[in-house]
Amino acid sequence: MGGLVLFFCTIASLMFIHRWRQRNKKGPKTWPFLGAAIEQLMNYDRMHDWLLNYLSKSKTVVVPMPSRTCTYIADPANVEHVLKTNFNNYPKGEVYRSYMEVLLGDGIFNVDGELWKKQRKIASLEFASRNLRDFSTQVFREYALKLSGILSQASFLNKEIDMQELLMRMTLDSICKIGFGVEVETLAPNLPENSFALAFDTANIIVTLRFIDPLWKIKKMLNIGSEAQLEKSMKIIDDFTYSVIRRRKAEIEDDKKSGQQNQMKHDILSRFIEFGEGNATDKSLRDVVLNFVIAGRDTTATTLSWAIYMVMTHANVAEKLYLELKSFEENRAKEKNISFHQLDEEDPESFNQRVEQFSRLLNKDSLEKLHYLHAVITETLRLYPAVPQDPKGVLEDDVLPDGTKIKAGGMVTYVPYSMGRMEYNWGPDAASFIPERWFKDGVLRNESPFKFTAFQAGPRICLGKDSAYLQMRMVLAILCRFYKFKLVPGHTVKYRMMTILSMANGLKVTIQRRSLRWF
């Protein structure tokens, strides 16, 4: 008994000494063997703000974990070193790959080396294609109008809606048409439940949990808990994806046999099948398309949700944006010698007809002239980046520009959520939503991608940036011209822990129609 008491006293003493030595430590306090895992788990639902607190005191925060050490960075110089200067030393890495492989497979967001280079080369050619841009513009307009129709009905019925859910449906429909060439129709007027969408959300949440769940591999091996749920979700996702791939391959073969192979389809799946010249496997095509879905659906929908929330909670921004859109509408109509019909604002069909007339003025070139709209979207991304943190593996020992030593086998994560809120990056008003900060002497300006990291930077900078801005401009131009949004009383807006910064409780709002007149 005495030996047992001595043992526990020794352990307690060692733990006390361990904690005492950390009394002046800038980062989270740790425990022997466990590192900072306990503190991370306790703060999991507010992880981004937990990191923000530490990164506001130190530009680099080292967080020891049981199996590895994670280093979080928010200083642009360190970010540039990781994403560009020493790019080859900071791949996605095997740790990240093992967490995300079930969902992303060997897609562009989950691979390194030659496989990544090959996919990026094909994707860059596609995003530079005028055909894809024109096709995307048409699709974005089509689904923005479908969304507007639902909002119009809600405004006439004084009905509460969840904007985030509707935006997720809209972007899923649009990316499935652009990515797969299929209509999934989740934004149909009756808002049908879609098993693919539900499974995709569930899988996204569970793979994110793996980053701090030390037992996920055991759960996977035993097929229990969250991992069992993940397996069921992935079966739904894969069944849908493979059925589309097989159907599209068959269609392309039929076209060739009938001599219609020159009738090119513009969806991304068809393009990758054609680039593969029949050698692309169903698995490789599945990985390609799911990577585009997660890139084009969740990121855009969440950014639009936060943008609408920012507009509705900043009356001065809402009014300034509305005036820019009205002025744009009037000037474009005069340029094109268009006379909008005088329609009955209290008639739903007439109202929707006018929205459709306005949408015809919107294309890539005209939308780029809406500078304040661009600033609103960019300021939203600064504070609410779609990807709030992005981890990288470490191949070899390294030293960051600020002197922080990085050990091989660990992980380095740059944190866009924190970076946008750092006074040392953006000044004393860093935490405030101010679209005007994106203008200098009245001219729209850009920031270094290593400071404004919403679209990453360096060799992995987002290829879909222009496409994302195109869709977000299209949607917000229509919504903010014709509608006012008001948060449902008592509704709490906060983020949910996923790879994407979505809202935990959605965005419950009521809708009010704006006047159709210019004056």
CA–CA dist 373, 317 (Å, integer): 10
236 is written with which tokens? 């739904």
CA angle 387, 390, 393 (to 5 degrees): 160
The beta-strand segments (E) located in 179-311 are none
Please report, as a single letter, which amino acid is at residue 66. P
CA–CA dist 200, 341 (Å, integer): 43
Residue 28 and residue 64 in contact, taking contact as beta carbons nearer than 8 Å: no
Residues 6 or more apart from 56 whose CB is under 8 A from it? 418, 421, 422, 423
SS3 assignment, position 291: helix
Please report, as a single letter, which amino acid is at residue 108. I
Please report, as a single letter, which amino acid is at residue 379. E
The single-letter DSSP state of residue 296 is I
How would you label 231-263 residue by residue, b for 16+ Cβ within 10 Å and e otherwise? eebbebbbebbeebbeebbeebeebeeeeeeee
Sign of CA dihedral 90, 415, 426, 402: negative
Q: How many CB atoms lie within 10 A of CB 314?
A: 18
86 is written with which tokens? 């020493």
User: For the chain, give me the number of helices (H) and strands (E)?
Assistant: 21, 11
| Long-range contacts of residues 353-361, Cβ cutoff 8 Å, at least 24 apart | 354/482, 354/516, 355/145, 355/148, 355/152, 355/478, 355/482, 356/145, 358/329, 358/478, 358/481, 358/482, 359/141, 359/144, 359/145, 359/474, 359/478, 361/328, 361/329, 361/332, 361/333, 361/336
Any known ligand binding at 480?
A: no
Known binding-site residues equal 462
Known binding-site residues for heme equal 462
